[in-house]
Amino acid sequence: MSIENINHRIERLFALQRATRVARKQEGAEIRGAKLARLKDAIVARIPQIEQALYEDLRKAPNGGKGGEIASVLGEIGTAIAYLEHWMAPKPVAQSSYLPNTAAHIQYEPRGVVLLLGAWNFPFALVMAPLVAIIAAGNSAIIKPNELQPATSTVIAELINAVFEEQDVAVVEGGIEVAESLQELPFDHVFFTGSPAVGKRVMAAAARHLSTVTLELGGKCPAILDNAYDLNEAAAKVVGGRFNNAGQLCLSVDHVWVPRALHEEFCQLLTGTIEKMFYVNGELSLERLPRIVNTRNFERVLGYIEDACQRGAQVLRGGQSERESLTIHPTLLTNVPLDARIMQEEIFGPLLPVLAYDSLDEVLTQIDSTGKPLGMYIFSHDQAFVDQVLLGTSSGGVTINHVMMHFVEKNLPFGGVNGSGMGRYHGHAGFLELSNARSVLIQQSA
């Protein structure tokens, strides 16, 4: 389809969804819940097709929908259906003493027509999970899946077309020019997941229409070990949190700080853990490690290794790559200078700098210098140590003695701060994010 025809379709869809905003706003919890239930049934019925698409796009191993992207989305739907009526109910508030004979409450209404721009690293979940919040709050959506994952984009389009009327949810496939055309329209809200660089452009485009935005970005998520935490346990959790999806995850452990006296031992444990998790008889198992998304990012990640080594870093294990399959082996680096590119930019690949520290203050200073990350991981049973890190840093979320678990807990708001994003979703937080909290005061008879 030509860009002119796509633009005509975009304008038609936007006008249709805008014209039906009032009718959609009047739909109760039963109707919204029914939409979500149909979405759930359609996803469950298409688990093999969804997993095949994810394998084609990113070499993600199928698991029957028991974990990963599909399970995460089904969890969001289940939570929304269970609590939707409670979320939608008006919330009474206490009246001020200087306003006698009044009653007041907060009424949650939809924001309206939402533009949902999908990400490439989790191309199914990072479309469908925000969509759950959009529907729960009573909005409509025009979705543009990420063009770097064509198989998943096709499955999403087919699924949405089977479940929804275009006036409620529609999919527009295409590349950057399609995204730019969509952002010319005055959407009520824009939901974007991706890099901070693109997030700035999305926010600038939204500002032209004073559209509200949710930006789920990233940052350099650090892990910090104290001098008493079990190193074997920490190694298993850090390796799982770094190399999940080949490190192409906004919440990945970007780098890890270890007390200098424990650095060598911890590196040995990381090496052994990588061997157990990703290798069979000394050979990398491609079924256990997704590929890098494209050649540009493949070269970018290898460039971090080259730059760091030129500045004096050493590759402790890994570093190999296969261009044909866009595979980079899990790689550990030590003695990485803080001015190396790998310590200044989000890695988004299967590389892990392991850094030694003498003073926790130097760690906190370095974290502050690279912006507020999306997540932070503290390994310590010492509350004073934990408090020092929490008080000396800022991040979107924190998991203590594990990695990424604050994302998994649906009752915790998920999102970033400043450079790592703005806005929150998951569970009730997603409903609130995609709603307008409308204040209502009633003057009663004296």
Domain ranges across the chain: 3-217+416-443, 222-408
CB 444 within 8 A of CB 398: no
Is residue 221 annotated as a catalytic residue, yes or no?
no
Catalytic residue among 51, 216, 346, 433: 216
pLDDT of residue 96: 75
List pLDDT tens digits, range 121-158: 999 999 999 999 999 999 999 999 999 999 999 999 99
List pLDDT tens digits, range 166-192: 999 999 999 999 999 999 999 999 999
- The rounded percent of the chain whose pLDDT value lies above 90 is 93
User: Domain 222-408 belongs to what topology?
Assistant: Aldehyde Dehydrogenase; Chain A, domain 2 (3.40.309)
Is residue 250 annotated as a catalytic residue, yes or no?
yes
Catalytic residue among 51, 69, 221, 250: 250
List pLDDT tens digits, range 29-87: 999 999 999 999 999 999 999 999 999 999 999 999 888 899 999 999 999 999 999 99
The CATH code of the domain at 3-217+416-443 is 3.40.605.10
List pLDDT tens digits, range 392-434: 999 999 999 999 999 999 899 999 999 999 999 999 999 999 9
